[in-house]
Amino acid sequence: MSKIVKWIKTGKRGARAEFTDSDLFTALLLISKEPMGRYKLQKELLLSESSTKSLLNYCKSKNLLSTTPGRTGHSLAENGMKVINLINQRLYDYGVFKYQAFENKQHYFVTLKCLKDKHEDSSWKIRDIAIAYGAQAILFFEITDDLTIKFPENEIQISNYFPDLELKLDNLFNKPLQKQTKVLIVAANSIELARKSALITIINSELIIREKINFFF
């Protein structure tokens, strides 16, 4: 088992629950967009019924989620909103990536804000985290001052590998590209797995934000 993946421990004896930090943070981000019931969340996370119940109970015990009477489902509680605000310090945009970089895989992207006075993101570190959480392959780009994309490694040219990618950029993201951002594209066997891998990778790749988030767990 990968040492990178963090399994959330619940219960008085510290028994390992069958969900990870990627499930937890993905659940919070999904619910931050709209309240969500257990069955829909279970489908979105590819978890079993018991694991989803365990995740929800854990989140409520940490004041991350609250339950609304009726069919509205679960919504963010006070600590959940604080965690999402921390994640959004790093996360600019995210969603399904409609460019088939890797054949027969589902693609999900996250656009990262470049924080002031922080170290450079290492491509190999980004890759290792994503793959530990189920990714099959990744692409990692920088956005230049003229709003084009480039690999962090100057000797590797995007045009040599994906010659038509830049021509389609305007239609691939939910928000306009911004300078001082980076793009991580995760390819996996399902869109749910690609999403979880992409979202947890951007959290784990930034030490300062990760340490602040860990305060809530």
Task: List the domains of the chain with CATH numbers.
Answer: 7-85 (1.10.10.10), 90-207 (3.30.1360.30)
State residue 4's pLDDT score.
Answer: 83
CA pair distance 16, 58, nearest whole angstrom: 12
Angle of the 191-204 helix axis to the 38-45 helix axis, nearest 10: 80
Residues 15 and 9 sit within 8 Å (Cβ to Cβ): yes
CA pair distance 113, 17, nearest whole angstrom: 32
Residues 23 and 59 sit within 8 Å (Cβ to Cβ): no
Below-70 pLDDT ranges, the chain = 1-2, 11-17, 70-71, 115-121
- Token pair listed for 118: 């922080």
pTM for this prediction: 0.91
Phi, then psi, of 105 in degrees rounded to 5 = -125, 155
Residues forming beta bridges with residue 143, ordered by sequence position: 149
Residues 83 and 213 sit within 8 Å (Cβ to Cβ): yes
Burial category of 46 from C-beta neighbours within 10 Å (exposed 0-12, middle 13-18, buried 19 and up):
middle
State residue 159's pLDDT score.
Answer: 86
State residue 37's pLDDT score.
Answer: 92
Rg (CA), the chain: 18
